[in-house]
Amino acid sequence: MKKKSITATMITKQSMLLCCKLYISESRNTEAMETVERAGGLDPETVIIKKFEDRDYNRVRYTLVSYVAHDTTGNAVYSPLQQTVIAMVEAAYESINLELHSGAHPRLGVVDHICFHPLSRASLDEAAWLAKLVATDIGNRLQVPVYLYEAAHPTGKALDTIRRELGYFRPNSMGQWVGWALPEILPHIPDVGPTQVSRDRGIAVIGASPWYVTYNVPLMSTDLSAARKIARLVSERGGGLPTVQSLGLVHGEQSTEVSCILLEPDRVGADRVQSQVEILAAQEGLDVEKGYFTDFSPEMIVETYRKLVSGGEGKHGLMKLSI
């Protein structure tokens, strides 16, 4: 598709937007991160709104935004996000080897997780359309097995279900995930791509969903079993708060952390999660710090994007937050 005129593109940029959260299993290798970010800055029509990196987890998330364009019948036909995400994915595969990776956060691949969200006037169907295009590129051209989830999956299969089937939540070395931990022939057939895994790349999980919130609560204790117990009791799966998923993880030499996903933040927000963690931690005799969000709100992301594209700043909008 030919690039639109500047005026038409600006109108689109201000209205129908898609967001991509791109999770890469690396944050300690500065050279690799620079390579990935250079690839993400090649197209000024896509903006990296925020970078969140955690050295203990050895994981980074980039939040990217761009517009989605439609044909005369209203069907989505183009988004600059596709090209930018694939460029960053290729750069990650070229500069990071999963066999050499270790970290306190679970992962299944160098490019571990890609999620697309609708923003502004865009729809979940459009986010799913883009997720499937990216999955096809990664699975068929880059030959990495891809599992689809939620709106991108034919039956809406949940992300945590796929991860549980693949052993995502089981560390293979004293609270750490080290190297490739699954058989080279996968136990479940991927939705896209080969069934055999390259150990240096691993697999990717790609989906589309309504907006979710990630919120982490530090525990002033190195007792990982206690952190896991609290995480389980906070989560819906463990009989705790509805629409909350959580993990107890090592986070540095002096602390652990309850890492949470709030699937419906308007229903169960961070305040309730914080309060529940504090109650459960007190029962274990543990101190708790105030939790933190790992990303902006959708409203702030849209506002930041509009300011950047209106000012012609494009790729220079990256904001960094390290833990």
Task: Tell how far CA 134 is from the center of its chain.
Answer: 14
Q: Would the pLDDT of 178 be above 80?
A: yes
Could you say which of 105, 113, 153, 251 is catalytic? 105
Average pLDDT, the chain: 92
Is 105 a known active-site residue? yes
- Taking the model in full, what pTM does it have? 0.92
The 10 Å Cβ neighbour count of residue 12 is 19
> How confident is the model over 152-169, as a mean pLDDT?
96
Confidence grade of residue 309 (pLDDT, cut at 50, 70, 90): confident
Helix residue ranges per DSSP H, 168-269: 224-234
> How confident is the model over 17-27, as a mean pLDDT?
98
Q: Would the pLDDT of 146 be above 90?
A: yes
Position 322 scores a pLDDT of: 47
Residue ranges per structural domain of the chain: 6-211+296-322, 213-293
Is 3.30.990.10 the CATH number for 6-211+296-322?
Answer: yes
> How confident is the model over 157-179, as a mean pLDDT?
94
Position 14 scores a pLDDT of: 56
Task: Write out pLDDT tens, residues 116-125.
Answer: 999 999 999 9
Q: Would the pLDDT of 252 be above 60?
A: yes
Task: Write out pLDDT tens, residues 65-117.
Answer: 999 999 999 999 999 999 999 999 999 999 999 999 999 999 999 999 999 99
Position 185 scores a pLDDT of: 86
Superfamily grouping for domain 213-293: Formiminotransferase, C-terminal subdomain (3.30.70.670)
